[in-house]
Amino acid sequence: MTTGDADIKVRILLAAKKLFAQYGFERTTVRQICEEAGANVALVSYHFGGKENMFGALFEQFFPNDQIAGVDPSLSPAEGVKLIIREVTRFRYSDRQLINIIQQEIIMNTDRIKKIRKHVMPMWKLLRHWLKEGEEQGMFHFRSLDTALMSVVGTLLFHRHTEYWAILLEEEHPSLETTIEDLTAFIMGGLHFKEQ
């Protein structure tokens, strides 16, 4: 693939990400994506083989797969959970479009969540591993591993930056570092974290 091919492929993916986040996968057409990208419609078939494959390519291109694969599962449970909090929050701040797409697909329970799971589940499996290990070591205290896992996931993924909640919120959007600190304190407190 030439540099020009790579550039147009990324432009198409950026356009798809923007439009899928804004309008949803079903309501976005290939023609709209190509108009946004300034690309010929035939290039979608050439580079991706269609809109469905383009959806999967978004996660190959923009999801931090290599970073997740490089995480050391032997970190202490507390450090592992803190790492997940930090990195998920960073990703949410850096790519809100992809987060919107993930949330839309999960809410709609589409077949495309299989493509999302392939990329996202390794991280959540690490979280489960660290929660279980931390509970076994007496570092965390909870009744149900499943409830603890889903509570942490919900806290990290719940979409706070929507107009829906604006009438309840009094503070300006906090900085990334402040959010990470607040979420870490909240989650570790909820896990009844005891330093060993």
What DSSP designation does 27 have?
T
pLDDT band at 164 (very low <50, low <70, confident <90, very high): confident
Q: Tell me: pLDDT of 88 over 80.
A: yes
Report DSSP letters for 39-67, one per residue: --THHHHHHHSSHHHHHHHHHHHHS-HHH
Which tens digits make up the pLDDT trace of 27-55? 999 999 999 999 999 999 999 999 999 99
pLDDT for res 184: 96
pLDDT band at residue 2 using 50, 70 and 90 as cut-offs: low
Q: 82 and 184 in contact (C-beta within 8 Å)?
A: yes
Look up residue 189 and give its two tokens: 């407190």
The full set of domain ranges for the chain reads: 3-58, 65-190
Given CATH 3.90.1210.10, say whether it is the number of domain 3-58.
no
Q: What pLDDT is attached to residue 5?
A: 62
Q: Which amino acid is at 164?
A: Y
- Tell me the pTM: 0.87
Please report, rounded to a whole number, the percentage of residues in the chain having pLDDT higher than 70. 94
Mean pLDDT calculated for residue range 152-167: 80
Angle between helices 96-108 and 3-23 (to 10 degrees): 50
CATH superfamily of domain region 65-190: Tetracycline Repressor, domain 2 (1.10.357.10)
Cβ atoms of residues 76 and 84 within 8 Å: no
